Amino acid sequence: MVVPVEMSRKRPVSLSSSLARRLEQLILDGTLKSGKPIPSERQLAERLGVSRNILREALKELRGRGVIDTQHGRGSIVKGLVPNLEQGNALTYLFREHPRTLYDLLEVRELLEGRAAYLAADRGTEEDFHRITHAFEAMEQAGQESTDPVRSAQLDHAFHQTISEASHNPVLVHTLQSLMELMLNSVLASVNNLYHRETSKKQIDRHHRQIYNAVIGRQPDWAQKAATAHIRNVRERLLEIEQEEQRLDRSSDWEKLLR
């Protein structure tokens, strides 16, 4: 009921403003995910222990700043923060023209995933670990039952994303997300090839298990090492695949795939 408001600002912070702040923090932490709807005003107001009036003022503030989008009768959705990181245009062009950029991307991703795993092991909460476990088990189970490469890629992505979110670094999360979207949008087909090869699949599964155990076991250094090794492995595999394909079809499978 009574919500303590701590502050050290010049002027006393109004409840509605600090509310807006709290909501933003929730978005940054990933509790409220970009693109997803947020609870209704009545629910939120009750859950946060404030009147709907004041909750509305807070939402108004977020809305004015473009953080959320609201429609009468439907609800509000998170529009996402850090829009400047939508690097779509410039880089999608690059991918079309120079497929090798994929390895450059994986080079960056290797760094970021490693750091994310480190931080996740270091400052992830029990709830984070719960989500990670859930994603991991879903991935393992699907790996035994189904052979659908698309689903595998999705679960893979989900697993890595839960880990990055456990890092509690929103900039890291959003950057990785941007890179992943870029990758999935442009070269999904090639990535899927990985899951068709038994040797690759086994290796990937082993890496995933290493990452998972290290994070859950709160072993930051191991987690980082496992994650970087994982991405590096993916990168090398893709390189092999590409060379193979080039041998088979000199004239570019790539461009067809990327178009």
Partner DNA sequence: TCATTTCAACTGGTACTACCACTTTGACTA
Partner DNA sequence: TAGTCAAAGTGGTAGTACCAGTTGAAATGA
Q: Using CB under 8 A as the criterion, which residues of the chain lie in contact with a second copy when the complex forms?
A: 8-12, 14, 16, 21, 24-25, 28, 53, 56-57, 60-61, 64-67, 71-72, 81-85, 87-91, 93-94, 97-98, 101, 104-105, 107-108, 111-112, 115, 169-172, 174-175, 178-179, 181-182, 246, 249-250, 252-253
- Establish if 52 lies at the interface with DNA (CB under 7 A): yes
CA-CA distance, 77 to 40, in Å (whole number)? 10
- Nearer Cβ to a second copy, position 176 or 215? 176
In the set 25, 31, 40, 243, which binds DNA (CB under 7 A)? 40
Which of 15, 26, 229, 239 touches DNA by CB under 7 A? 15
Instruction: State yes or no: residue 16 binds DNA (CB under 7 A).
Output: yes
In the complex with DNA, which residue's Cβ is closer, 52 or 232? 52
Integer Cα distance of 14 and 60 in angstroms: 14
Q: How many CB atoms lie within 10 A of CB 180?
A: 17
∠ at Cα 140 (138, 145), nearest 5°?
Answer: 90
Placement of tokens 């006393």 in the chain: 12
Token pair in block for residue 117 = 């795993």
**E strand segments, 63-116:** 68-71, 75-78
Q: How far is CA 19 from the centre of its chain?
A: 25
CB under 5 to 8 A by kind: which of a second copy, DNA, none does 36 bind? none
161 part of the interface to DNA, by CB under 7 A: no
Interacting residue with DNA among 7, 31, 47, 53 (CB under 7 A): 53
Tell me which stretch binds DNA (CB under 7 A): 45-53, 86-94, 126-134, 239-247.
45-53
207 in Cβ contact with 159 (< 8 Å): no
- Rounded distance between C-alpha atoms, residue 139 and residue 135, angstroms: 6
Residue 156 or 253 with smaller CB distance to a second copy:
253
State the binding partner of 172 from DNA, a second copy, none, CB within 5 to 8 A by kind.
a second copy
Instruction: Decide if residue 26 touches DNA (CB under 7 A).
Output: no
How far apart are the two ends of the chain, measured CA to CA in Å?
Answer: 56
Residues 258/186, Cβ–Cβ less than 8 Å: yes
